[in-house]
Amino acid sequence: MSIRRNLFISHTSVRNVKPKAERRCHLLLAVSLVLLTVGIGYDLVFGTKLADFMVIIAGLLFGWIAFLYCLGSTELWRE
């Protein structure tokens, strides 16, 4: 009986992130998704306002910060 490797799991995984950084990463991504959902949803229902635009921009900003933070805190760069 041979052991087959799961093709959906890569050699380097997300588990190379420190636990504290992983929590921050999830929090930043969650804040980004909530801001984008609220901003775009409100914009679609009630029309475009400057405040909606600022909420969407804040969501995009948090998303990019989360992406760069998560990418920078992985152990992939230290191998």
> What is the residue extent of each domain of the chain?
18-74
pTM tops 0.75: no
Q: DSSP for 4-29, please give it.
A: PPPTTS-SS-GGGB-HHHHHHHHHHH
pLDDT at 11: 45
Secondary structure (3-state) at 8: coil
Q: Consecutive 10-residue runs of the chain (79 residues): their mean pLDDT?
A: 50 61 88 91 83 88 91 73
pLDDT at 4: 53
